[in-house]
Amino acid sequence: MNVVDTGLPYHQQDTENYCGAAAAQMILANLGSPVTDQRLLFKGPMMVGSQRWSTAPDALAELLNTHALARKVNYASHSDAQLDGVRRLCNALVSAKLPAPAVVWGNRHWVVIRGVVYDQDANGSAVAKGFFVNNPVPQVPFATIGQPNNVPPPHTTRDTCGTGGGYGSARLYATLYSWLRDAWREPCDGVEPPGYVTVTSASPASEDLEWRFDVSGSEPPPSAAGATDEQKACQVALAGIKDHQLDRNGPLSKDLFGAQPSAADLSTVLGSAADRPGDPYYLVHFEKSGQRVADAWVDAGSWQFLGIEAPASGTPSLSDVVDFVNDSLRANAGALSDVMSPQAIEQHLYTVLPHFVWTPSAESMSPSRPLVQVNVPGKTLFIGADGRVHRALTSVHA
């Protein structure tokens, strides 16, 4: 097994439209450039082809080439077939040892791929298994009731720059199966091919590996006789961590080494990760020394290990969701007065779904951060991990 982690420093995006600027900030900081102010790095909004970008791929490449003064690198934007793009991303990480920004969820959001896990088959071909990702969107959502333009504090305030802190994820791993199926899909319904930016001529062509991609995922481990679905999900998640050696290498290894899944504290999520309404997955919580250290997600249909991420602080589990919902509704009672009275909140005149929900949205950009759905007479509300209440989810596929 081979693991490449560029050690990319983490920075959150400071406004709703600054994901591209934050991606540039992370890469430039990694290159030693002094230009890391997101306000200076923001390029947009603009239309390119049929897509509206806050920062288009060619603009991001130009930013990196202009400000990467400390190292002579040449970045170029690309938009090509799905597997051709993955091949180019893998070569940039392995041959050049440089991270690569890419847009996900239907070309709506920039993330930075900071590393790759790959194996080699009997023929010497490299077999990609998954990516380490820096996702600049903060765990604090951008929109909430009564504050449509609410944004997180500047990254210099509480980002604990270089680690992610409580405002974003510098510790996320997506399997190749999940990356291709959900985050970086083939073009459809007028969506152009995924955009991304990599270095060009980073190494002689002879140094690039021959890549092979198993798009069908891995074979799930055999289950013990009589195992429940919850136990099976825990088994798949633990086997996925071992198979990808995430407890030995990469930014999650310190937390995952010795961590164990908790079948008694497992969450069911009704997700639509790739526009498949009602497609469920399990969110498996990993604990170490009594602390929740990571959340893995496992497809409940194919039993595929999809990925794992350090949890958002305060993320509830289904076992304590009723108290969480009531506390959140109380805290937002004033803004919710047109939907339900304080008396209705105190009397619990609402229904909490017995599972979490998730779809790529401005309120949550990660399947490890699902929301609680609360039904009140004539209205549906959604509550995020931080207790903020949303009247609707803003789809990023729109």
pLDDT in tens, 283-338: 888 888 888 888 899 988 889 999 998 876 556 666 678 888 888 898 888 888 88
CB 118 within 8 A of CB 129: yes
Tell whether the model's pLDDT for residue 241 goes beyond 90.
yes
**What pLDDT is stored for residue 113 in this prediction?**
94
pLDDT in tens, 13-72: 877 778 888 899 889 888 888 877 888 888 766 645 556 677 888 888 888 888 876 566
Tell whether the model's pLDDT for residue 187 goes beyond 80.
no
Fill in the DSSP letter of residue 226.
T
**What pLDDT is stored for residue 282 in this prediction?**
87
CA distances from 119 to 23, 96, 210 (A): 27, 18, 12
**What pLDDT is stored for residue 72 in this prediction?**
65
Domain ranges of the chain: 2-212, 229-309, 318-390
142-151, 207-216, 225-234: lowest mean pLDDT where? 142-151
Tell whether the model's pLDDT for residue 158 goes beyond 70.
no
What is the domain class of 2-212 according to CATH? Answer: alpha beta
Report the distance separating Cα 382 and Cα 398, nearest Å. Answer: 19
User: Which of 293, 268, 294 shows the shortest CA–CA distance to 356?
Assistant: 268
pLDDT in tens, 99-112: 999 888 766 788 99
Mean pLDDT across the chain, nearest whole number? Answer: 78
CB 341 within 8 A of CB 350: no
The residue-averaged pLDDT of 219-246 equals 86
What is the enclosing helix (H) or strand (E) of 331? helix 321-331
The DSSP code sequence of 68-107 is --SS---EEEEE--HHHHHHHHHHHHHHS---EEEEETTT
